Amino acid sequence: MGTGNSNLADQRVSDRMGTQTEVQFVKSVCLPLLRSTQNPDGGWGFHPGSESRLEPTCWALQALLQWSWPEIPEAAVHGFQFVREAQLRNGAWPSARAEQVGCWVTALACWVLLAEKNSSNAVAMGLDWLCKDWPQDSTLWRRFLARFSSQRHIFPINNSYRGWGWTPGTSSWVEPTAFALLAFGECPAELLPPTAARRRKLAEAMLRDRMCPGGGWNCGNPLVYGVAGEPLIIPTAWALLALRNQPERRENVLSLEWLEKNVANIQGPGSFALARLCLESYSRKWPDDAPGLRSFHQKNEFLNNIQVAAWSCLALSAKRPFLPVGLPSGKTS
């Protein structure tokens, strides 16, 4: 782990003194939930008592690391072991250990293992798999066929841009592309495969191409049958975080405006946490009239979703911002 940019971090904490109630909620509800629900195998399920899965494990680890920084807690060491052992021989990670096919969680696994000094080889293998995992909707053959398709007007997107799919052999989508970009962006140069730079460039272009007409992103369909797709909070937040190295670009500015306008209408705690994380990263003021985590929890107890608790911890980490804009790497200065 890096030493952090302490001055910037202190300033951010100071800026967020008004959010102490929220921080207190995270400390009293979300963090204890994470600490009490780790399975004996070192992983976390989506719910207390459910089987360990890669995605909630990665987010729980990120949250615990964020809150214990610069220390690495014992729970995280155990969690790293779960993640390492779940890696497939080809370098990818499956969403559940019983599966034999890797998928988008590979990016999350690589990202979180960057915090563990003995995992460099596993990370390099994972990133190499990501670089070799091309979506199938944009192969030369598919693009050729698409020119003659009677349905080419349905999804008017530029297929020469290529990101990542949720599963191998499918299409590019916003969130898995954002996760891969975040993993590459956090990774030290010596672990990056030679083709990483090209993949990142194509993926960033793909994200910008998929932005909804008025800003923001949905899963990746900006227009369907000529009708503008509605943006959603979560893909918008991840896309903005993945593209945060160019905050002045039109797509970022438009999408940040969309996100800020829609904060007051957020109806789920997962969206709330990621919107907050994103706006904090861009140093945008959190609206005073926005709903609070506690009120979400009172409604449905987050549907007992551990991952939502982890995102809440990341959004309100007291010690330092997660994924700040303006630093060459999100975690090290």
Partner 1 sequence: MNARNAALVPSFQRPLSKVFIRRAANYEQELASLIYESLLEFKLPMKDKTVLLKPNLVGLDPLGVMNTHPAVVAAAREAFFRLGASQVLIGDGPAMDRDTEAVIESVRLREFAGPLARTFVDLNVDDMERVPLKTHASRLKELYLPKTALGVDFLVSMPKLKTHHWAGVTLSLKNMFGIVPGSCYGWPKNVLHWAGIDRAILDINAVARPDFAIVDGIIGMEGNGPIQGTPKACGVLVLGDDPVAVDATCCRVMGLIPQQVKYLARAGTLLGHVEASKIQQLGERIEGVKAPFAVLPEFRQLVA
Alpha-carbon 277 to chain mean position: 10
Show the binding pattern over residues 27-56: x = contacts partner 1 (CB under 8 A), - = does not.
------------------xxx--xx-x-xx
Can you name the residues that pair with 228 across neighbouring β-strands?
223
148 makes contact with partner 1 (CB under 8 A) = no
Q: Of 101, 92, 104, nearest to 179 (Cα)? A: 104
What is the sign of the dihedral through the CA atoms of 133, 137, 143 and 145?
Answer: positive
Stretch that binds partner 1, among 19-27, 58-66, 252-260, 304-312 (CB under 8 A): 304-312
* Cross-strand pairs, 224: 227
The amino acid present at 100, given as its one-letter code, is Q
Select from 214, 247, 268, 292 the one that contacts partner 1 (CB under 8 A).
268
228 — phi, psi (to 5°)? -65, 130
Q: Does 145 bind partner 1 (CB under 8 A)?
A: no
Q: Does 93 bind partner 1 (CB under 8 A)?
A: no
CB of 149 to partner 1, least distance (A): 12
Kindly tell me which of 47 and 319 has the beta carbon lying closer to partner 1. 47
In this chain, which of 37, 138, 159, 171 binds partner 1, going by CB under 8 A? 171
DSSP letter for each residue of 190-226: GGS-TTHHHHHHHHHHHHHHTS-TTS-B-SS-SEETT
Burial of 331 (0-12, 13-18, 19+ CB in 10 A): buried
Q: From the centroid of its chain, how far is CA 170? A: 20
Q: Which amino acid is at 170?
A: T
Q: Binding residue for partner 1 (CB under 8 A) from 4, 165, 216, 324? A: 165
Nearest approach, Cβ of 182 to partner 1 (angstroms)?
Answer: 16
Check binding of 96 to partner 1 (CB under 8 A): yes
Both tokens of 12, joined, read 């951010």
Q: Between residue 225 and residue 264, which ones bind partner 1 under the rule CB under 8 A?
A: 225, 227, 230, 232-234
Alpha-carbon distance of 270 to 249, in angstroms, equals 26
Give the residue, chosen from 63, 259, 266, 318, that forms a contact with partner 1 under the rule CB under 8 A: 266
Residue in 77, 145, 154, 197 binding partner 1, rule: CB under 8 A: 154
Contact 127, 184 (CB under 8 A): yes
Asked if residue 304 binds partner 1 (CB under 8 A), the reply is yes
CA 294 – CA 302 distance, rounded (Å): 10
Q: How far is the CB of 312 from partner 1 (least distance, A)?
A: 12
- Tell whether residue 269 is a contact of partner 1 (CB under 8 A): yes
Tokens 């988008």 locate to 104
Of 67, 69, 173, 217, the one binding partner 1 (CB under 8 A) is 173
Nearest approach in angstroms of CB 188 to partner 1 is 28
Compute the least distance from the CB of residue 236 to partner 1, in Å: 11
308 versus 313: smaller Cβ distance to partner 1: 308
- Residue 211: alpha-carbon gap to chain centroid: 17
Q: Given candidates 90, 120, 167, 329, which one binds partner 1 under the rule CB under 8 A?
A: 167
How far does the chain reach from its first CA to its final CA, in angstroms? 10
Site residues for partner 1 per CB under 8 A: 45-47, 50-51, 53, 55-56, 95-96, 98-99, 103-104, 136, 151, 154, 165-167, 169-171, 173, 175-176, 218-219, 224-225, 227, 230, 232-234, 266-271, 296, 299-305, 307-308
